[in-house]
Amino acid sequence: MKFFVDTADVSAIAELNDLGMVDGVTTNPSLIKKSGRDILEVIKEICDLVDGPVSAEVVATEAEQMIAEGRKLAKIADNITVKVPLTWDGLKACKVLSDEGTMVNVTLCFSANQALLAAKAGATFISPFIGRLDDINLDGMELIEDIRTIYDNYGFETEILAASIRTPNHVLDSARIGADVITAPPAVIKALASHPLTDKGLDAFLKDIAEAGIKIL
């Protein structure tokens, strides 16, 4: 499974990248706003840091303008993935940009039918939002399962990018189902390393080390 980091915080990306935990990055207008930086500037810096796909989202809502923005974003770096919303205009933009050889991430997916359309339009990635479905008492993981089944049935090459990841369990369930990618905030990725029994065991080891006066260096 590929790990994408869902943030525009360059320092957080760099920390995880140094550990080999970053296969790509996803950003959106809300994350860019949180960073307080110019979108083109921060995206360029992230692309220089990370080898994998970096999603940069258009801000237009009409197809022609999305395509124009997508073309401009694609010029930032070879690893740019243009992110478009799963609307009819977004699908039009996806088709044009993907036909031009640009990677496209179709976002805000909430149904398997939407995912099917995105794959037909040539999307590189489809981003189903798990957490937001959970928020309205629907099972986000069922959506991942449905998309996986449909894509496998017909050999679609669009990668399932599980998004709106809120917890380590979301990561685990996505891996079990076979999502190609998860994108999560840095804190969630770091939380994957945590376990109370690991902490308890380490405390016991440290106590024995202190009592025995064990030293290596």
* Sign (positive or negative) of CA dihedral 13, 15, 18, 23: negative
Integer Cα distance of 216 and 99 in angstroms: 59
Of the residues 2, 83, 95, 190, which is catalytic?
83
Instruction: Output the CA–CA distances (angstroms, integers) from residue 107 to 16, 118, 125, 214, in the order listed.
Output: 24, 9, 8, 53
Residue 80 burial class via C-beta count within 10 angstroms: exposed 0-12, middle 13-18, buried 19 and up: buried
**Is residue 83 flagged as an active site residue?**
yes
Would you tell me how many other CB atoms lie within 10 Å of the CB of residue 202?
10
Kindly list the catalytic residues. Answer: 83
